[in-house]
Structure 1
Amino acid sequence: MDAIGFALAQSTEPYRWKRISTIPFSDGEMRAEIVGDKVYVISRNYNQVYDLRSGTWAQEPALPEERRRSRFSSCVVGTNIYVIGGSKVIDDNLDDRNTPLFVDIYDTANKKWSILASDTFNVHSAGCAAVGDKIYLFGGANRALYGYQQPLSSARVLDLATSVWSNTAQIPREISEMGIAALDNKIYLLGGYTIISFTNKQLLKEVYAYDITAKTWGRCPDLNSARTALAGASVGKEVFALCGIESAMVESYSPQSNAVAIRQSPTSVRSYFGAVQWNGSIYVFGGDKEHSVEVFQPNGTNMDALLAWLATR
């Protein structure tokens, strides 16, 4: 790079997003979980595995047919992926309260599914995060009200040592379809929606932080853009809210500065999609009516971002 190019790299904000692949089989809503250097993109009918190093795809066993569903939650503990809740039919007039809460485990080492004892309190579209040997499940929906799926304020913990669910401090308000990310002993809920009146489904800007040790909730500064069906991720010391319905915006929240910042948006608008963090970058996968895979390098100098982008050309 000559002196002019070097100067431009230092003074110009490069585009930090790059489209890198296309999901072989699009299945609408999906989740993405990372184990090692592989991302498992799981949807109702597929379990598609993306190798981050080679950029290649492989197909692995999907959810058992009798347990396939939409808008489930997921997280990773060790080499196992937990797929929790969901609904076989998403219908704004459907009441799912009496459906068992399915918990399926995918053993990525042996490529096999197994079943954890179901709980009696079903939910779909919840926020899910694993910290240590516990899985936290926040909000979501399971009943029809005013022609909408009514959000919940529930907060539940699955202890993997005993396979027993318990309750913890409820979310300050009822929320569904939020983004979620864990960082430094806290779990952050980002955006989502709630129902505030007979005819009003409200998209949210709110950010809540659950302190795992104290088992209490705190309120963080709001996002700039209200959205639902978004994804959350953490990189370094920041939490990211990525896209969603009614917003193509990417925002980051820094607990250290207690401030929200607007970041660069991707080339594709997406909702009900998966996101993972790997080596300081965020990878986003598919979504409703979206088949692409993009990578976002949020941090580093302009030169770092430019060189990383050029390396993919």
Structure 2
Amino acid sequence: MSAHILKLITTGILLVAVIVLPSSISQMVFSSPPLSSTESHWTTGTPIPTARSEIAGAVLDNKIYIIGGFDNGGRSTSTVEVYDPTIDKWTSIPSLPQSLDHTAAASSNGKLYVIGGGYLGRDSLSDKLYIFDPQTNNWTEGANLPSVRGALTANFINGTLYVTGGVDSGNTLSSTLVYDPSADQWTKKAPMPTSREHLTSAVVDGKLYVIGGRINGMAFNVDANEVYDPATDKWTILDPMPSKRGGLTSGAVGGSIYVFGGEQPTGTFSNNEKFDTVTNTWTTEANMSTARHGLAAVAIDNDIYVIGGGPQPGGSSTDVNEIFNTIDR
């Protein structure tokens, strides 16, 4: 694909940074405006042992699980690696029952849940629900999703698993699916106002915030920001994200959601934009050091661990483990 100039306009300012790749193909890295106020700061942790992109991440017992994804060769992997922030060290656990990329993960009641995704080198999608119990060190299966889907999101709210968006065999999805672990059963809830995949989500005060994503390919990123209230089974449209981004990730600290990375056909994003759920406003935070897409973000206390991803659009991967400390803000 030949490179072309893509204008990214943020608050009326054109910002373009060009990286020259070894192949002489220029890829753009899109970033937010520099901050004039005191910034929160980034540090680095031990890199993930297996460089990967299109991964899923979740926290369980204050340890970070990074699941599946594409390896350096662009192949789906079943690898699961666990990071302990207290000692800055990685370990491995038994692999997924199958290789998966573009999957989603969440944890509840001492177990890790991995939902949907792709396999067989992007050619197929999964309807599987895999459950890992660290007490037995084994994977089991829950009830299958009602239909196959990848590039989705998953979050627990009060012990119930909420799965939103994604893509099936040919359609971008708006559906909201709910899984009850005690009944091992899926039900449907109100769909999102905006169909999208390669989206991100976070939970604040018992509500599900779903942000960004894309429709029918990375050239059609969206800035949608919508919140779901499980108590009323209703969605509300909020102020859009300042930038249109798909292939992104997010982490919530307090009442704020920090949204990282993403991709377009000509480049990747280093953006870090914060949404205040109380005031319904966005602000720009300190950019990631490594622009990338298909990454994972996991929040523990005041830190958000932003791991892996692809530094170029499409098939690429990195092993970076960058940590954003939010306490200064």
Normalised-by-shorter TM-score class: 0.7 to 0.9
Q: Which residue of 1 aligns with 2:305?
A: 283
1:268 aligned to which of 290, 299, 303: 290
Q: Which residue of 1 aligns with 2:202?
A: 181
Alignment CA distance shift 1:90-1:259 (3 Å)? farther
| Structure 1 residue 14, shift from structure 2 partner | 4.9
Q: Which moved more, 1:24-33 or 1:274-283?
A: 24-33
What pairs up with 1:51-66 in 2 under 5 angstroms?
51-64=84-97
Q: Which residue of 2 aligns with 1:191?
A: 212
| Structure 1 residue 200, shift from structure 2 partner | 9.0
More strand by share: 1
Q: Which residue of 2 aligns with 1:136?
A: 162
Q: Does 1:45 align with 2:78?
A: yes
Q: Which residue of 2 aligns with 1:29?
A: 54
Listed one character per residue, the Cα deviations across residues 101-126 of structure 1 (whole Å, up to 9, x for unaligned) are: 10000112332111112234111111
Q: Does 1:231 align with 2:249?
A: yes
- Partners of 2:39 and 2:285 within 8 A in 1: no
Q: Give the RMSD, CA atoms, in angstroms.
A: 1.9
- Partners of 1:134 and 1:157 within 8 A in 2: yes
- Counterparts of 2:91 and 2:56, CA distance in 1: 16
Alignment CA distance shift 1:90-1:173 (3 Å)? farther
Listed one character per residue, the Cα deviations across residues 17-51 of structure 1 (whole Å, up to 9, x for unaligned) are: 11222111123321121112311111132111111
Alignment CA distance shift 1:15-1:239 (3 Å)? closer
- Partners of 2:248 and 2:259 within 8 A in 1: yes
What is the TM-score normalised by the length of structure 1? Answer: 0.83
User: Aligned residues: percent identity?
Assistant: 22
| Structure 1 residue 83, shift from structure 2 partner | 0.5
Structure 2: unaligned runs, 5 residues or longer: 1-35, 69-76, 311-316
Q: Which residue of 1 aligns with 2:186?
A: 165
- Partners of 2:116 and 2:145 within 8 A in 1: no
- Partners of 1:250 and 1:264 within 8 A in 2: yes
- Counterparts of 1:266 and 1:103, CA distance in 2: 32
Alignment CA distance shift 1:100-1:47 (3 Å)? closer
Task: Report the structure number with the largest CA radius of gyration.
Answer: 1
- Counterparts of 2:79 and 2:237, CA distance in 1: 37
More helix by share: 1
- Partners of 1:75 and 1:82 within 8 A in 2: yes
Q: How many residues align?
A: 276
Amino acid at match of 1:129: N
